[in-house]
Structure 1
């Protein structure tokens, strides 16, 4: 019998013993994907400025069939200058027909992460292909110099796992022009990686750290950290786990379900990065994600932490350790981060200090509650709750060539999770409801003049409903329903006047019933259906909508532009409709 409460993990251990055929390939590019089984998403691509880009190929048609990284050399584009209006990474990946797990994929250059995501799973009869993009304009300083890089997709190919992966990636540099000027970008990028070329760092528990000890320029006036934290191994399904004291009773994984990335500078709490519950294409029920994967599954977005209150300290000439840990990590999280710094162009030396930090006295300790009850027959009902909400203010100043600039980061970060159980001898029903929220504002002022304000709100809702029914012959069925979302609001004001705001909404919902025999082999599935709805809008009239629906692992409907003016999506070239981070620094008056 498959142990109750560990269906997704046990299926992975069972080795994806599929007894099913494949579905049709996706339609050719540019044509309707309806009727296709190839990867189809509603996400927007990165909008582009006018003009012809210079292209640098990083790697081309590499095959990934082992655990060796594939190195490449990078040289800046010739005849394209060193100031660009936009820099975009494009990647194209595919997997052969056969049997294969989802795999983690990364691209690094000079230790800095350029891409982080996972791969689609194939069917026994059909392969899959997909395209990813990432706006890397804020990493411009990195691309002005030659460097070494590597792409890594660790993959096993043998008699059981038969599919190789393939990939190509390039950087597109759009020359600055009158209509698309180069933005004010960070002056330097520093990796928090494990080696000079670049790899992720394993965080096994709450005490594990990804850290870099850096001696930064003496004139840093703003600093930000782009953070990725990806769950792996025992932590892959962290959002379904319960605290250890309830693990045996609920037949679920222990370790709790609170996860949050903690950022520190020289051991002092400096910021928080919420952990997104990414679900991979083999996760929970592998058929739900064919042909449309979950939110950001193939292309993660980093979370940007504002470290500007620490700029004066970072500029004092001493070495400083910037570190990231994951509270609650339980073997393990794969992490990487990049520190972006802006320098004072009018001064070689600045000074400053942190004057308030209320995060330092608020440890990330959630409140746990339980209404679990067990009757005389051993049936278990009730719920386990996990909650934590912290409001904090971090304020610091830096004396610059344009005066004393004081930055205040004011945030409320909250986490709420309820795991509801109804367990009998023949049925295991678990509902996971989780919501991570961030409400924050960063304010910068010169003297008493409020010169810049950036507001951000994030919502990460997740609902997983799994009902496992065991038959008398030892076989069982698992009905799974999942709803997953990513909501982001950003607003920029200058001198008290609103300048720009944008909203991103990405929702994926799907369900399926797995049929599994007493030997843990998947013998079939039924009722697969899924939808993805993506919407972006901004205060300048930008609008993008995309929608895709599937049934029985084939695309049944696809549209873009519905609800936008004229029924067409239109987004300005400098917008971030994909939800990638920005802070609007190019409009600040220094």
Structure 2
């Protein structure tokens, strides 16, 4: 067996000690079938009609050190200040060679506008990829000039030779009769580490990314977009076990429950589930070539509804909005952005928080174990980690159009079972994890139910890791991984259903690695992976995408199969990628 605690470290080292070659990249504009370059099934951000105004943020920047890449931003000229859509487009590539997966982020005036990781290269393959993010809700930020930076720390030396290049631009689609500007936040406030922007390191559960803000006196609604990315010892947090079982299970300690906690002035204000992103060097790097895991190259933030606190946030006093990660164990990179909507008919609103049942519910999971060890030292059994909380947060704000009462009603769940079968020559661990959210935000004007927004999420993860010690001293490791992202949203007005949408993103793959006693990869075999992406809504939008690979080459690719006429059709104002929206920000009428 690999030495205790070697699960993530040795595979990471092995991934940078390749003795295998890669497959040449397909020619540009050719079919992806037969290509070893990055190929995903994800949809791009849908666009409204019309020609966009383009602002280049940076072009062909080289990332080969631990410095940031600053840029100056100015809004587009001759394009107005209200846009039907704003889209970030970014393109990255890495030269052939040896390189880790790296974290990439783009910032403006302290606010994150892109967050993701990079594809690993091989000795003969220089991968390239394209990402997009819908920034329409951040239009208030983009109306003002500011300073930004791209952060992509990268080591380039005689060992780590892959040089990363990147470009990014913003596309502004002017509002028109056919594509009117939606209702967007009046202000966007960053929770970050500096005025230009960067993440904050959360080493423990008590660490926070926070901002103390004196907000406008007429806040009517507020939302927090949260990113929490696992790093370092926490990269494979979903495989860890409680400390009391770490030695017996030969795994990392600290447990495997992670959840982002949102607070206002120290009071629990909401929960953001942590997605188990797996990077392109994660567990078995060959699984993710050419198709990475769910959202690996382009994370989606989770949006927390803080509207019940609007009355408090408007009282003229400074308030501290903070995010922590329960269970953080060195470490998580975190950032967040506060989106504030104001009452334009009043300079001052008043209100109060009337109920918050989350305050008394600590995020402490229940742990169970059936682990046993026989006289030969063989270990078998399960470790379970479970937590479910239902909470209601309610508050009101007296606006120019009456008293608006908002109730956030959510149930968040976490269920994990880790199964172990450990002998002198075999180490078999199966991790089955499911994070869930069931919630709705209800708004009333007086006694009239004016709006109801429902959102549910499922983050299933299955990791089957089976390591065998061979008689020649090598290690054979068969890994199978399945991960998913399921989202359902629904909007009702006055009790009548208005809109509903579903997003399903599934990636599954497997591979067998053979490592020598120095943890170098001797060979790998049986690589296969699939990604299936589906989106549909109640207005008739339909998107289907699928990609399959074997031996690290695309073997099948389809787009539109299963949609009417075999064609994808998505309305320009929808969010087929799973990016957040909140009720009235979706539809332009």
TM over 0.5: yes
Quick check: 1:39–1:129 contact (8 Å CA) kept in 2? yes
CA distance in 2 between partners of 1:543 and 1:587 (Å) = 17
CA distance in 2 between partners of 1:26 and 1:387 (Å) = 46
CA distance in 1 between partners of 2:460 and 2:15 (Å) = 30
Q: Find out whether 1:90 has 2:70 as its counterpart.
A: no
TM-score (norm 2): 0.99
Gaps of 5+ in 1: none
Q: Find out whether 1:100 has 2:99 as its counterpart.
A: yes
Q: Find out whether 1:140 has 2:139 as its counterpart.
A: yes
Q: CA deviation at 1:586?
A: 3.8
Alignment of 1:193-342 (within 5 A): 193-342=192-341
Alignment of 1:10-89 (within 5 A): 10-13=10-13, 16-29=16-29, 31-89=30-88
Q: CA deviation at 1:15?
A: 6.5
> Partner of 2:550 in structure 1?
551
CA distance in 1 between partners of 2:427 and 2:53 (Å) = 56
Alignment of 1:429-468 (within 5 A): 429-468=428-467
Q: CA deviation at 1:472?
A: 2.3
Q: Find out whether 1:372 has 2:371 as its counterpart.
A: yes
CA distance in 1 between partners of 2:9 and 2:582 (Å) = 39
Alignment of 1:372-411 (within 5 A): 372-411=371-410
TM-score (norm 1): 0.99
> Partner of 2:498 in structure 1?
499
Q: CA deviation at 1:588?
A: 9.4
The list of structure 1 runs, each at least 4 consecutive aligned residues, that deviate by more than 6 angstroms after superposition, is 587-590
Q: CA deviation at 1:9?
A: 2.3
Deviation string, structure 1 residues 175-233 (Cα, Å, up to 9, x no partner) = 00001000010000000011000000000000001000000000000000000000000
CA distance in 2 between partners of 1:439 and 1:48 (Å) = 30
CA distance in 1 between partners of 2:289 and 2:15 (Å) = 18
Secondary structure of the residue aligned to 1:205 is coil
| Residues 1:67 and 1:587: Cα distance change in structure 2 (over 3 Å) | closer
Q: CA deviation at 1:32?
A: 1.4
Quick check: 1:8–1:285 contact (8 Å CA) kept in 2? no
Secondary structure of the residue aligned to 2:203 is strand
Q: CA deviation at 1:398?
A: 0.2
Q: CA deviation at 1:112?
A: 0.2
Secondary structure of the residue aligned to 2:16 is coil
CA distance in 2 between partners of 1:393 and 1:27 (Å) = 55
Quick check: 1:27–1:33 contact (8 Å CA) kept in 2? no
Deviation string, structure 1 residues 337-393 (Cα, Å, up to 9, x no partner) = 000000000000000010000000000000000000000000000010000000000
Secondary structure of the residue aligned to 2:289 is coil
Q: CA deviation at 1:409?
A: 0.1
CA distance in 1 between partners of 2:585 and 2:373 (Å) = 59
Q: CA deviation at 1:582?
A: 0.1
| Paired residue total | 589
CA distance in 2 between partners of 1:9 and 1:309 (Å) = 44
Quick check: 2:350–2:399 contact (8 Å CA) kept in 1? yes
Quick check: 1:452–1:588 contact (8 Å CA) kept in 2? no
Gaps of 5+ in 2: none
RMSD: 1.2
Quick check: 1:74–1:147 contact (8 Å CA) kept in 2? yes
> Partner of 2:161 in structure 1?
162
Q: CA deviation at 1:126?
A: 1.3
CA distance in 1 between partners of 2:499 and 2:283 (Å) = 39
CA distance in 2 between partners of 1:250 and 1:128 (Å) = 37
> Partner of 1:7 in structure 2?
7
CA distance in 2 between partners of 1:50 and 1:589 (Å) = 14
